[in-house]
Amino acid sequence: MTGLFVRVAVDQPMPVLFDYRYALPDAPAVGMLVQVPFGRREVVGLICEIAHSSDVPAEKLRAVTAVCDGCAPLSDAWIALAAFAADYYQRGLGEVALPALPQALRDASRWNRLFAVEPRYRLLPEGRAQLPDALPARASALRRLAEALAEQPSLALSDARALHPKASVTFDDWLARGWIETATTQTVEPDANAHVLPTGAAPLPILTDEQRDAVDAISGAQGFAPFLLHGVTGSGKTEVYLHALAVLLAARPDAQALVLVPEINLTPQFEAAFRARFSALADGSIVTMHSGLAEGERARNWLAAHTGSARIVLGTRLAILASMPQLAMIVVDEEHDPAYKQQEGLRYSARDLAIYRAKQLDIPVVLGSATPSLETWWQAEQGRYTRLTLTRRAVAEAALPAVKLIDLEEERRRGRASVEGLAGPLIAALKTRVERGEQSLVFLNRRGYAPILSCDACGWVAGCPRCSAYAVLHKPERALRCHHCGWESRIPKSCPDCGNIDIAPMGRGTQRVEETLASVVPGARVLRIDADSTRRKGSAQALFSDVHAGEVDILVGTQMIAKGHDFRRVTLVGVLNADTALFSHDFRASERLFAQLTQVSGRAGRAGLPGEVMIQTRYPRHALYQALSRQDYVGFANSTLAERRDARLPPFVYQAMLRAEGRTLEAALKFLEDAAAAFAPLPGADRVTVYDAVPLTIVKVFNVHRAQLLLESASRAALQASLRAWQPALRSLKGVLRWNVEVDPLDV
């Protein structure tokens, strides 16, 4: 059939494009979003090809129902990036491209509103002078409006309505009085003379020689240039990013940069630093992108990146797929962080995609870390990434903290008291800090009160009825909670099996340590930060500001407190319960532990006062702790790499994991065994090893049984090719609820 046709990617688990007739007045273009009928629904899709004939029989061809003409087409480069990710992670293009767009764009009914030019209002000098006195004293909503106008260069009507429902009427009145004016455009054209460096605010720190060398190397790079910025904690990696970005943005008035951080909680700290430094850029030049944004804001920020008005996009892993037509540099801070790996849906690594994107666009990419992932370290060792090293802390007086190992066996042998799992020397050190008015941080990676609630008389242990896991005791919430499926119940008063009322918590979580600290360090203001204490939106931010404001003496928490925060008054870090990770069956456990402990240790002594780290352990002679106490990442990395090479583990081999979820474990295992039988190595390609199907450690979650099958090859290309060839066989297998293939899995 001939005519005008478009081939459209839609969010369906099928690696194909769908043909549609095109008969709308606007000419179609590759990269445009369209609304198309799909089955009985209308969905949004992406035009990937335009054609003048179609092999689909005429009676089966349906027509495009709408085109999103307000949104400039996505670029070929962006589509190529999505196509690469789809291919690499064994998905369909639409499954990658569409979820990467903000929700508002994926709903055609919202296009009109999204692209309608929203009125904005700006305060005039007369208004600034007269408004405060003109408002009735009790008109608090009006006052909020006036304050918002005074604080921002211009205010959008929708934001104003959120402050005052009748904002529109009020603005008409204020317009008539000459207090405000309309400001239709928010996006200011990039100003060729824009001064990117600050105009007099805080003075720029003078870079250390090491920082200067790093900035010069990055700024002098031509084309694709991957850098590993390996800098000890507190060495001022952020300052290196800021300077390198300043050079770039000043040199090219249209250039855009993407800065990734691992955690949503770190974006405000970064955002503040970036806004302060680049205050001379036009309004709206810095936008954030993470899952915590409201939908409207997410869409606005995405569009700002897409139109090029945003010069810097600061975001979490999902921002790696932002559309940025003038992208000229990518920064991945704390590149080793497992949070860069998406763990559901499209299981991508934002760090790895950053490398690909930089290569595709021929631009520099900077991976920063105090403890690079061994994958990255190995690339640097081979000379594929340029290594830039910051060996010292940036603040002249700040030395790296001294790491001390508290031998718990020795404490016990000598009969020295430890209270509820806190060793004597740690308690004493905490007390000293409180007396001196310094802050301490106590880290353990387990939330809740106690991981186990059990009965001494009959051996009953509280478990989740839906999972093969213990239920965790949460004391403040008076609940037993399953950390895997969210199941919750009240704490039983007696043993449900034998009636014994002496059921007791075993082990320690953050809540219990918080309770203990309050009693062993009297008078200390103890604050807990973990997923439970920060459930409400914005509460993490509020808690962190209490710490920065000095309203806390001892901060207890999980890895949430370990990452990136620049706590200026913390001089002591205590680490509890780290030993469990030493004996994990996961070969990456020690790498993660080393990184985590380095990160948390790095919170101590950042601003001149000497820092100290105390790690409680039963294995003080373990090589990991020894390397940690010497602050010897390089030694640790090289010896761990040597072990990996001997054991033929990543980064020396490439892995993929097929996971299946069934109503029974037998069903899941059978699926994997059938899949393994259907796996055919490609002729002539390198060997791909298929291991036995095994149940996951926590085999049952929410009544679903889980098992996995590992594939491995020394050749990435061979693995990729055989995974691709395997897909049709996998799709034809039945008998499980779900299955997925994960390429480069982190948890093996």
Q: Between vectors from CA 440 to CA 435 and to CA 442, what angle results, nearest 5°?
A: 135
CA angle 213, 351, 310 (to 5 degrees): 75
* Residue 698 CB, nearest approach to Zn ion (Å): 9
Report what 467 binds from Zn ion, ligand ADP, none; CB cut-off 5-8 Å by kind.
Zn ion
Question: For ligand ADP, which is the closer residue by CB, 123 or 329?
Answer: 329
Residue 487 binding result from ligand ADP, Zn ion, none, given CB thresholds of 5 to 8 Å by partner type = Zn ion
Closest distance of CB 205 from ligand ADP, Å: 3
Q: Do 500 and 494 meet the contact criterion of CB atoms below 8 Å apart?
A: yes
208 interacts with, out of ligand ADP, Zn ion, none, CB within 5 to 8 A per kind: ligand ADP
446 binds, among ligand ADP, Zn ion, none (CB under 5 to 8 A by kind): none
Whether omega before 198 lies within 30 degrees of 0, making that bond cis, reads: no
| Residue 215 interaction partner, one of Zn ion, ligand ADP, none, beta carbon < 5-8 Å per kind | none
Between 398 and 649, CB nearer to ligand ADP: 398
CB of 702 to ligand ADP, least distance (A): 38
* Residue 495 interface partner, choices ligand ADP, Zn ion, none, CB cut-off 5-8 Å depending on type: Zn ion
Least Cβ distance, residue 244 to ligand ADP (angstroms): 13
Phi, psi of 66 (to 5 degrees): -155, 155
Non-local CB neighbours of 642 within 8 Å, separated by 6+ positions? none
Residue 237 touches which of Zn ion, ligand ADP, none (Cβ within 5-8 Å per kind):
ligand ADP
Min dist. Cβ of residue 468 to Zn ion (A): 9
Task: Identify what 233 binds: ligand ADP, Zn ion, none; CB under 5 to 8 Å per kind.
Answer: ligand ADP
* 414 DSSP assignment: T
Q: Which two tokens stand for residue 256?
A: 């855009």
What b/e readout covers 434-464, taking b as 16+ CB neighbours within 10 angstroms? beeebbbbbbbbbbbbbbebbbeeeebebbb
Of 483 and 528, the one with the shorter C-beta distance to Zn ion is 483
Q: Which is nearer to ligand ADP, 354 or 406 (CB)?
A: 354
Q: 134, 598, 650: which is closest to 369 by C-alpha?
A: 598
Residue for token digits 């491209």? Answer: 97
Under DSSP, the state recorded for 349 is B
Query: What distance, in Å, lies between the first and last C-alpha atoms of the chain?
Result: 50
**Closer by beta carbon to ligand ADP, 306 or else 606:** 606
Looking at beta carbons only, is 12 or 541 nearer to ligand ADP? Answer: 541
- Side chain identity, residue 577: N
Chain residues binding ligand ADP by CB under 6 A are: 205-208, 211, 231, 233-239, 394-395, 566, 606
Q: Quote the least distance from Cβ 197 to ligand ADP, whole Å.
A: 15
Phi-psi label, residue 78: left if phi above 0, alpha if psi -120 to 50, beta otherwise: alpha
Residue whose CB is less far from ligand ADP, 135 or 197: 197
Minimum CB separation from Zn ion for residue 344, in Å? 17
Q: What are the C-alpha distances in Å from 375 to residues 30, 352, 380, 381?
A: 36, 10, 9, 10
Cβ neighbourhood burial of 162 (10 Å; 0-12, 13-18, 19+): middle
Largest CA distance in the chain: 89
Residue nearer to ligand ADP on the CB measure, 132 or 550: 550
Nearest distance from residue 290's CB to ligand ADP, in Å?
19
Residue 236 binds which entry of ligand ADP, Zn ion, none, with Cβ cut-offs from 5 to 8 Å by kind? ligand ADP
User: Would you call 58 exposed, middle or buried from its count of C-beta atoms within 10 A (0-12, 13-18, 19+)?
Assistant: exposed
CA atoms within 13 Å, Cβ hemisphere of 184: 2
Q: Given the rule CB under 5 A, which residues bind Zn ion?
A: 455, 457-458, 460, 464, 466-467, 482, 484-485, 487, 495, 497-498, 500
CB of 360 to ligand ADP, least distance (A): 28
**How many CB atoms are closer than 10 A to CB 688?**
23
Beta bridge partners of 575: 443, 615
CB of 464 to Zn ion, least distance (A): 3
CB closest to ligand ADP, residue no: 236
Q: Within 13 A of 593's CA, how many CA atoms are on the CB side?
A: 25
Cβ atoms of 130 and 179 closer than 8 Å: yes
Binding at 205: pick from ligand ADP, Zn ion, none (beta carbon under 5-8 Å per type): ligand ADP
State the DSSP H helix or E strand holding residue 543, giving kind and residue range, or none if neither.
helix 539-548
Q: Output 203 or 684, the one with its CB closest to ligand ADP.
A: 203
Residue 235 touches which of Zn ion, ligand ADP, none (Cβ within 5-8 Å per kind): ligand ADP
User: CA 27, CA 67: separation in Å to the nearest integer?
Assistant: 10
Name the residue nearer to ligand ADP (CB basis): 186 or 211. Answer: 211
In angstroms, the CA 408 to CA 405 distance is 9
The entry of Zn ion, ligand ADP, none near residue 379 (CB within 5 to 8 angstroms by kind) is: none
> Closest approach of Cβ 246 to ligand ADP, in Å?
14
Closest to Zn ion by CB, 410 vs 488, is 488
Closest approach, Cβ 588 to ligand ADP, in A, equals 23
If the CB atoms of residues 495 and 613 are measured against Zn ion, the closer one turns out to be 495
